[in-house]
Amino acid sequence: MATTHPSHEANEVSEQKSGKQAAFAGTPKKVTTHVNQNEGLIFEKSSPGKKAYRLAELDVPAVDAKRLLGPVARQDLGVMPELSEIEIIRHFTRLSTWNYAIDLGMYPLGSCTMKYNGRVNEAVARLEGIAEAHPYQPTSLSQGCLQIMATLEDALIEITGMDAITLQPAAGAHGEFTGILMVRAYHEAQGNPRKKVIVPDSAHGTNPATAAVVGYQVANLKSNAEGMVDLAELERMVDEDTAALMLTNPSTIGVFESEIHKIADILHAKGALLYMDGANMNALVGKARPGDFGVDVMHLNLHKTFSTPHGGGGPGSGPVACKKILEPFLPKPVVARQSDGRLGLDFNRPRSVGRVRMFYGNFGMFVRALAYILANGPDGLRQTTEDAVLNANYIRAKLEGTFELPYKTRTLHEVVFSDKLQAKNGVRTGDMGKRLIDYGFHAYTVSFPMIVSGAMMIEPTESESREELDLLIDALKQIAQEAAESPELVRTSPHTTRVQRMDETSAARKPVLRWKAPAAKDEVEVDTAAKEW
């Protein structure tokens, strides 16, 4: 039986219209996409007199606010947006759908370890006795919360192989600062704070900044051909003025320092300490313990390794674990068992570097991290590490040859390619990162670490399935092909986003962060720069 195409049916109906109807069938009005594809500023949507509320009539005499409050009473709220409730809800809901999130797709960001945040973490953090606890509660009413902190401390000490820990620091860089403060306090207690901290070129950028803030000179240590610490150069640089080496292990190219014991021995022979940046612990948990290979002090990123929320400025958490020689210098207070068997907070620590965070740290992150650790257990944590390493090496094997691999050394949880092959056609790492957005992925880490020119740093974590990895690999291979055949397509990407490529230099140096009210209330003009931003 023959079928009629919908457009044919529409034409037949159209022909049956009366002359009066046909008179309105002229050139159709130009149609634009719905605002959900092109959301404006909330001020642009404003109309005078609109309200998102309706109050009942007063059942008491009205009061003149100016007479009641005097000169502090404000008569004019300025130019504020006026919208209905549904307009407000739709505006912010539409904006929220533009956000990329781990619940939508993978983050291949290297070194950031953007893994999935398990829902069990959130369920536990919302339990009434935990969510509503207040830091000013007396310890007698906070035994459960203190037990959470003590249990997390025990777990992290076991995972790292260290002797003591503080949960106070609010982020990884804050943990670095705390750790190096403790290093300085330790050397001062020995009679000499020392002068310099050695930082390899493969370390995180916050490491040299931390050392400088604490008052140390920063000495840069070049990597060898394998991307690891050059032992001969390290031995030459370490002297009685060296306070510590700040080592990221595995390094920012995903390489584990296979001679870490020798590194520790070189430092300890001169009285210096080994600080480890633990941002890449997702490659070690359950497999190797820093305390066992000579590390004296380190920080952890609960928001990286232990799946607490990450990004957007926090809330982060960067506990610092240390060996016994540094325990007296931990920030106070510390959780301690009292004589009556209850848990309490010990403030009587005369050699402490002092408090580094209000109260006791970001408690909500402690709850989530502990939930993650207990939900996985020792075997699960080990499996997580192995899966993260497997995923990174799968990507490495699939993309080697498509992109240059500057270091052939065996990698762990992340892999770093370079744009050397694509740069021949004028396509750089930033261009390919932006083109990846067109394929529905967040960009990888662009141009870092600095020891790799045109770096493309990819860390899939253990969260991603093989199917998701294959989608990323296919997209990157397609982009490499485009870079060879249609380089301009890649250089001008992204093409499918609501905002096209911006001038990043101007955006960084001259950001427009606020909407400016028009000169007169009846004007509807909006700052063009603000709209573009």
The predicted-structure confidence for 135-178, as pLDDT tens digits, reads as follows 899 999 999 999 999 999 999 999 999 999 999 999 999 999 99
Residue 498 pLDDT grade (very low, low, confident, very high; cuts 50, 70, 90): confident
Enter the DSSP assignment of 56.
P
| 447-493 tens-digit pLDDT | 999 899 999 999 999 999 999 999 999 999 999 999 999 999 999 99
> Is residue 302 one of the residues assigned to a domain?
yes
Asked if pLDDT for residue 234 goes beyond 60, the answer is yes
Ranges of beta strands (E only) in 85-190 are: 164-166
Residue 39 pLDDT grade (very low, low, confident, very high; cuts 50, 70, 90): confident
H, E, C per residue of 314-347: CCCCCCEEECHHHHHHCCCCEEEECCCCCEEEEC
Residues 35, 94: contact at Cβ < 8 Å?
A: yes
The CATH number of the domain holding residue 457 is: 3.90.1150.10
Domain that holds residue 421: 378-497
Whether residue 309 is found in the same domain as residue 447: no
Q: How many CA atoms lie within 13 A of 335 on its CB side?
A: 24
Residue 312 pLDDT grade (very low, low, confident, very high; cuts 50, 70, 90): low
Q: How many domains does the chain have?
A: 2
Task: Give the CA dihedral 359, 362, 367, 370, nearest 10 degrees.
Answer: -110
Ranges of beta strands (E only) in 196-252 are: 196-200, 217-221, 242-248
> Is residue 522 one of the residues assigned to a domain?
no
Give 405 or 51, the one with higher predicted confidence. Answer: 405
Which of 357, 374, 391 is at the close of a domain?
Answer: 374
pLDDT of residue 14: 41
Q: Which two tokens stand for residue 287?
A: 């497999």
Q: Which of 27-41, 287-301, 358-372 has the lowest mean pLDDT?
A: 27-41
Mean per-residue pLDDT for 11-31? 48
> Is residue 183 one of the residues assigned to a domain?
yes
Whether residue 326 is found in the same domain as residue 428: no
Whether residue 196 is found in the same domain as residue 342: yes
Enter the DSSP assignment of 249.
S
> Is residue 421 one of the residues assigned to a domain?
yes
> Is residue 126 one of the residues assigned to a domain?
yes
Whether residue 398 is found in the same domain as residue 415: yes
Whether residue 455 is found in the same domain as residue 321: no
Give 53 or 343, the one with higher predicted confidence. Answer: 343
Average pLDDT, the chain: 89
Whether residue 158 is found in the same domain as residue 225: yes
Whether residue 349 is found in the same domain as residue 385: no
